[in-house]
């Protein structure tokens, strides 16, 4: 996407969650996670690359000791349809016996997050919890549920706050939806 195409996409998009709502949701999530994990010294894993923005805002709000690492897993690669989970970067720190908190930008269909959770449990995690900035209300059953959810979004193509539109606009502080055709 050219810079001009990206600017046009944003100019025509619908604002569905302004920055102040995003920040309020992250504050609320931090409180919920503090209450649930303050005594567990968890390993927090950020899912690359969409969750970077979310993690960068959430982690400074958490008021307990934790360890940070990341993972990068995909079901897509160059394909248009998902297939078996492929690890591009596994967690560097050991997960065995740990409480693991996975941070991701959005829970959409849930297939990738379900596979990540299953893999971490197979690797010996004592407990694996999922925190997402947003969950898309698809109206369909998902194979996994988030333990902590910041926002509920309509079933539209969304971007901003780590979510991209053809790799553009992850850096927006608010969430937008591509204009319906």
End-to-end CA distance of the chain: 19
Q: What is the pLDDT tens value at each position of the chain, 181 positions in all? A: 899 999 999 999 999 999 999 999 999 999 999 999 999 999 999 999 889 999 999 999 999 999 999 999 876 544 444 567 788 899 999 999 999 999 999 999 998 899 999 999 999 999 999 999 999 999 999 999 999 999 999 999 999 999 999 889 999 999 999 987 5
Contact 116, 46 (CB under 8 A): no
Distance CA 100, CA 91 (A): 11
pTM above 0.85, yes or no: yes
Domains in the chain: ranges and CATH: 3-177 (3.40.50.2020)
């Amino acid at each position: 996407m050219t810079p001009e195409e990206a600017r046009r996409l944003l100019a025509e998009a619908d604002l569905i969650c302004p920055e102040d709502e995003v920040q309020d949701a992250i504050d609320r999530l931090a409180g919920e996670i503090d209450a649930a994990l303050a005594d567990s010294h968890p390993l927090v894993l950020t899912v690359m690359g969409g969750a970077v923005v979310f993690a960068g805002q959430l982690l400074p709000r958490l008021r307990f000791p934790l360890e940070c690492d990341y993972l990068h897993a995909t079901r897509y690669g160059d394909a248009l349809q998902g297939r078996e989970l492929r690890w591009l970067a596994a967690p560097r720190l050991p997960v065995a016996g740990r409480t693991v908190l996975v941070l991701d930008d959005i829970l959409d269909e849930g297939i990738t997050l379900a596979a990540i959770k299953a893999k971490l449990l197979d690797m010996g995690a004592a407990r694996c919890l999922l925190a997402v900035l947003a969950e898309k209300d698809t109206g369909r059953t998902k194979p996994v549920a988030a333990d902590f959810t910041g926002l509920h979004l309509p079933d539209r193509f969304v971007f901003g706050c780590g979510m991209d539109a053809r790799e553009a606009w992850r850096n927006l502080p608010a969430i937008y939806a591509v204009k319906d055709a």
